[in-house]
Structure 1
């Protein structure tokens, strides 16, 4: 044992809750579904990202068809419009939904990319 009294100082990394991700290059948005944005340095593309879950957004369960909750088509339009507005565009000329997006209680990460 050391001959001196123990110093009560540890050098472990302690996780701290962080909601401010600006140090990582992310900015927050005022959209309820697309909550963070980042501009890619190499291409200049804008990526908007968020998390969908019926627990966080219970109103999404109002669009349940045959026992499966789907993201409404109007939500896709809203995501596209928000992305367009962030890039300086004001309209969407065409938006085609090829496959429905099922939602569960488990978080689903979404991204909208504009380039």
Structure 2
């Protein structure tokens, strides 16, 4: 007995995928392989570089472990990691200073857009860096500043004491009352 041939005839109704759709390069962005940052772009004419990503307790479930009174926060070390990675990507790997301004609060559902902006080289020999976020579902919301700092180029300075010796050889005790 012969089988009917119509059951094996196929016609596809999928929309054809255009080249470049879904790729960051199609939007003028470069990709970065990092768990918190996913895109990078250089600002035209200024030497600044912007790194962006999305933070969400759903995508990064380990963030839920950093809840304070039921509010999920990105820990300060997470902010530092964003700055260190952004600085390393532009060849300025040392964080000279970093001032935390406001906690980065994550919503229970959804997420936040995050940007790390590395400024152009300054006359002082550093590059300013800042971290901002806003809710991902409200593109009209203002950006909230979370940290500002300064990056340096070069290698880490060598310590002036033996790291295996603790306390250091020339250390002296200090009374708490003396500390101002």
Q: What TM-score results when the alignment is normalised by the length of structure 2?
A: 0.53
Paired residue for 1:52, among 52, 55, 64?
A: 55
The structure that has the greater radius of gyration is 2
- Which structure's relative contact order is higher, taking Cα pairs within 8 Å and 6+ residues apart? 1
In the other structure, the counterpart of 1:85 is 88
SS of the equivalent of 1:83 reads helix
Which 10-residue stretch deviates more, 75-84 or 89-98? 89-98
Tell me which residue corresponds to 1:67: 70
Runs in 1 of length 4+ with deviation above 2 angstroms?
14-19
2-structure distance, mates of 1:94, 1:44 = 20
| CA displacement, residues 15-37 of structure 1 (integer Å, 9 cap, x when unaligned) | 86933121322010011111000
Write the distance in 2 (CA, Å) between the matches of 1:59 and 1:33: 12
Deviations 1:62-107 (A, max 9, x none): 0011111111111001000011101111210111112111111222
Instruction: Specify every segment of 5 or more residues in structure 1 that has no aligned partner in the other structure, as ranges.
Output: 1-13
Q: What is the deviation of 1:45?
A: 1.0
Gaps in structure 2 of 5+ consecutive residues: 1-15, 120-180
- C-alpha RMSD of matched pairs (Å): 2.0
1:110 aligns with 2:114: yes
